[in-house]
Amino acid sequence: MIFRGRKRPQISLTGQAGLASLPAQSRRSFVTHIIIRLVAISFLGTVAMGGLAFAFLYQQVEQRELESLSDYVAERGGAESQLFLHAERDLDLFRQAFLQSYTDPEVLTDTQFSRYFAAPGDGTVRLKREYYTGYRDEDGIIHNSMTGFVAHEALPLDREQRRRFVLSYRMLDKLAPSWMTDFSDVHISLPEGALIAYWPGMPWGLEADSDMTLTDRAVVKTTSLANDPSRKPIWAGIYFDEAANDWTATYMLPIDAPDGRHLATVNADIALGALLRWITRKSENGEYSLILTDDGSVIAHPALMEKLKDASGEVNVKDLGDPVLLNIYTRLRQSDIPRNGEPLVLNDPDIDAYLGVTELTGTGWWLITVQPHTIMIGNVYRATWVLFLLITALAAMLILAVALVLRKSIAHPLNALKEASEHIADGNYDAVAQGHVPVPEQRDDEIGLLSRSFRNMAQRVGDASDELEKAVADRTRELEQANRKLSDLSLKDPLTDAFNRRAFDHDLALAAGTGSSTVLALFDVDHFKRYNDNYGHTAGDKALCRVVHTLKDTLPDARIYRYGGEEIAALLERETAEQAEEALFTATRIIADCAIPHRASPAGCITISGGMVPLALFKGDARAALQAVDHALYEAKQAGRNRLFRARIADPARPGGFPTP
């Protein structure tokens, strides 16, 4: 095949003979001179390009690092703020419920104060011991972990105070147990000098010294009308709780009557161990995090935890004499830190670092990450050095190519090279690479080398084109993988984090078709509507989440699904169907053993009923398997609930139901 390019003017080679007649030494001097000039120019160009590359990369890497730092701080701040937001939400609900009951004259018309409190003869009044050790009410529900202490300065009590104290106890006894996943204890302080606490494992009110003056203590003084005229909630500084062996912060929410009287303060102690372990972790690159308040108090710092422990959390930046920490605090005080939890990134050249900061929502605390400049500069240096080496290598190749061309005449191959160039410009790389366009590569000299290099260049360009197509294909696969991840997210139930009905239908059809030893189970939370009616839908959501999480923990090798409402499905594969069934029976019993209070259930706690069936019995008919297990669930509920029945399929004589304890 012959490839023809467009016609170009012919290049005269009449100067070739004159050049060939020059002495070899003169030609070598000329070539050497040109090469030296090329080396000098290439060196200067490489240095200049390296400098430009450094400036460009510095800007790009800085922008990327700052965006990464901002995203990181925002993510951490949002995650850590959840604990504090839960405290604010729960205690505000408590305040609303307390005020609603307190202002209702029909509530506690008979305070029954003596039913709950007694005077032990030491000048105080205390909540009776059985309210801590535990007693069972008329509904069979156990109440415990409550203590109360009325100091001597609060006595004697009038009727309003007795009613308020009893209301405080009853509200705390009702609400506090459901909050203990977030708090270590919840307590109410009364301005007259009394405290009622829900504190599992700590009988504080029973053991408090009789001569204690509570009105002198921070738990009462901090939120008094005199010390807190704004009546805003307060996040107290952290301290190390020796009893809980953990770092703790206290959230204090005053409760005032409509006429402005201070009725009580509800307080929650929150364990911050997980947050502070993250703060105090060690980083090899010098990055670290800390927490400050806008008044300069140090909440957490990797190097100051022992000092904070010794000082009961009362350490201020201004008293430490640490110039770096003082510089950070001053820089943040001069900046406008968003109050909505949005991140802010600052450059602090005085300490050669970037500061990423966000406010932990509601606390007034600043979560700060300090990232030294050396991290980013190191990345820029490495990228620039690689680029510099590449530019140097390219420059060296170009100088060598020019030197080879200058050794001999280059006039006569120009036409061939011109035609080959036109083919390359038209994208016909293969025409040049495969030799269809003739170039003088057969010569055993510099021209031949140049011609061969030209052909190799065409091959490399063609290969680069192929690599580009491959890169596009790889990117397409990455996008497909990202789409699959998004698809996976669509298979999760947002409330319980279990798989949803869509995932269940897909997995059931797949499992039914394999003929494996997979067992299908379908559960229903017993009397769940009554639970919602008695405790509210929010509590119902939490109870449903706990049931799902318990099933996940008990059956770690099972796939758990929210089938619909309070119905939960499970697919469990073991070596035999009998092993899977036994595991499902165990899971049913464990749900009851959790003893989640349910006063509207005959069992007194949340239980589940269920049906199960081996999929292998249905030979790929998923619909029939689902109908069978649904019928078994119906039989379990008809038989009294709190049990798991095996669907009756092939062997009617096989035992059908096994009630859980």
Q: What is the pLDDT of residue 552?
A: 95
Q: Is residue 584 part of a domain?
A: yes
Please give the average per-residue pLDDT across 450-466, as a whole number. 75
Kindly state whether residues 529 and 634 are assigned to the same domain. yes
Kindly state whether residues 413 and 304 are assigned to the same domain. no
Q: What is the pLDDT of residue 412?
A: 60
Q: Dump pLDDT digits (tens) for 414-426.
A: 576 767 777 777 7
Q: Is residue 521 part of a domain?
A: yes
Kindly state whether residues 536 and 653 are assigned to the same domain. yes
Q: Dump pLDDT digits (tens) for 109-162.
A: 888 899 999 999 999 999 999 999 999 999 999 999 999 999 999 999 999 999
Percent of the chain scored above 70 by pLDDT?
89
8 Å CB contact between 333 and 55 = no
Q: In the predicted model, is pLDDT for residue 573 greater than 80? A: yes
Confidence of residue 31 (pLDDT cuts 50, 70, 90): low
Q: What is the pLDDT of residue 648?
A: 84
* CA separation for the pair 657, 613 (Å, rounded): 12
Lowest mean pLDDT among 296-305, 335-344, 502-511, 651-660: 651-660
Q: What is the pLDDT of residue 9?
A: 42
Kindly state whether residues 475 and 505 are assigned to the same domain. no
Q: Dump pLDDT digits (tens) for 385-411.
A: 787 788 888 878 877 777 777 666 665
Pick from 556, 549, 560: which is nearest to 606 by CA? Answer: 549
Q: Is residue 469 part of a domain?
A: yes
Q: How many domains does the chain have?
A: 3
Q: What number of other Cβ atoms are within 10 A of residue 658's Cβ?
A: 16
Of 321, 352, 373, at which residue does a domain stop? Answer: 373
Domain of 358? 275-373
Q: Dump pLDDT digits (tens) for 33-47.
A: 777 877 888 778 777
Paired tokens of 539: 């509590």
Q: In the predicted model, is pLDDT for residue 567 greater than 60? A: yes
Supply angle C-alpha 258, 259, 260, rounded to 5.
90
Question: Catalytic: 566?
Answer: yes
Q: Which of 280-289, 482-491, 551-560 has the highest mean pLDDT?
A: 551-560
CA-based diameter of the chain, in Å?
A: 128
Q: What is the pLDDT of residue 73?
A: 86
Q: In the predicted model, is pLDDT for residue 345 greater than 50? A: yes
Confidence of residue 5 (pLDDT cuts 50, 70, 90): very low
Please give the average per-residue pLDDT across 510-533, as a whole number. 91
Q: Is residue 268 part of a domain?
A: no
Higher pLDDT, 620 or 637: 637
CATH classification of the domain holding 533: 3.30.70.270
* CA separation for the pair 430, 436 (Å, rounded): 8
Kindly state whether residues 553 and 412 are assigned to the same domain. no
Q: What is the pLDDT of residue 539?
A: 94
Kindly state whether residues 462 and 578 are assigned to the same domain. no
Supply angle C-alpha 77, 83, 84, rounded to 5.
85
Q: What is the pLDDT of residue 64?
A: 87
Kindly state whether residues 468 and 505 are assigned to the same domain. no
Lowest mean pLDDT among 227-241, 317-331, 536-550: 227-241
Lowest mean pLDDT among 59-73, 118-132, 205-219: 59-73
Place of tokens 């009580």: 264
Confidence of residue 4 (pLDDT cuts 50, 70, 90): very low
Q: Dump pLDDT digits (tens) for 166-191.
A: 999 999 999 999 988 888 899 999 99
Please give the average per-residue pLDDT across 87-114, as a whole number. 92
Q: Is residue 515 part of a domain?
A: yes
Confidence of residue 257 (pLDDT cuts 50, 70, 90): very high
Q: Which long-range contacts (CB under 8 A, 24 or more apart) does 533-540 make?
A: 533/600, 534/598, 534/599, 534/600, 539/178
Confidence of residue 487 (pLDDT cuts 50, 70, 90): low
Q: Is residue 535 part of a domain?
A: yes
Higher pLDDT, 644 or 652: 644
Kindly state whether residues 455 and 581 are assigned to the same domain. no
Higher pLDDT, 613 or 401: 613
* CA separation for the pair 453, 447 (Å, rounded): 10
Query: Pairing mode, if any, of strands 239-241 and 344-348?
Result: unpaired
Q: What number of other Cβ atoms are within 10 A of residue 450's Cβ?
A: 22
Q: What is the pLDDT of residue 11?
A: 38
Measured in degrees and rounded to the nearest 5, phi and psi for residue 597 equal: -60, 135
Of 355, 373, 391, at which residue does a domain stop? Answer: 373
Kindly state whether residues 331 and 413 are assigned to the same domain. no
Kindly state whether residues 646 and 530 are assigned to the same domain. yes
Please give the average per-residue pLDDT across 336-361, as a whole number. 88
Pick from 542, 543, 538: which is nearest to 526 by CA? Answer: 543
Q: Is residue 346 part of a domain?
A: yes
Please give the average per-residue pLDDT across 322-331, as a whole number. 91
Confidence of residue 651 (pLDDT cuts 50, 70, 90): very low
Query: Pairing mode, if any, of strands 185-190 and 643-646?
Result: unpaired
Q: Dump pLDDT digits (tens) for 543-552.
A: 999 999 999 9
Pick from 154, 62, 82, 63: which is nearest to 117 by CA? Answer: 154
Place of tokens 């008695």: 534
Mean pLDDT of the chain: 84
Of 444, 479, 514, at which residue does a domain stop? Answer: 479
Q: What is the pLDDT of residue 650?
A: 52
Residue 3 is given by DSSP the state -
Catalytic, out of 566, 567, 573, 581: 566
Q: In the predicted model, is pLDDT for residue 14 greater than 60? A: no
Kindly state whether residues 442 and 314 are assigned to the same domain. no
Q: Is residue 124 part of a domain?
A: no
Q: What is the pLDDT of residue 427?
A: 74
Measured in degrees and rounded to the nearest 5, phi and psi for residue 423 equal: -65, -40
Q: In the predicted model, is pLDDT for residue 472 greater than 70? A: yes
Cβ neighbours of residue 612 closer than 8 Å, sequence gap 6 or more: 519, 520, 521, 522, 581, 584, 629, 632, 644, 645, 646, 647
Lowest mean pLDDT among 430-439, 474-483, 531-540: 430-439
Lowest mean pLDDT among 148-152, 211-215, 306-310, 617-621: 306-310
CATH classification of the domain holding 368: 3.30.450
Q: In the predicted model, is pLDDT for residue 510 greater than 70? A: yes
Q: What is the pLDDT of residue 2?
A: 39
Q: What is the pLDDT of residue 267?
A: 94
Kindly state whether residues 518 and 452 are assigned to the same domain. no
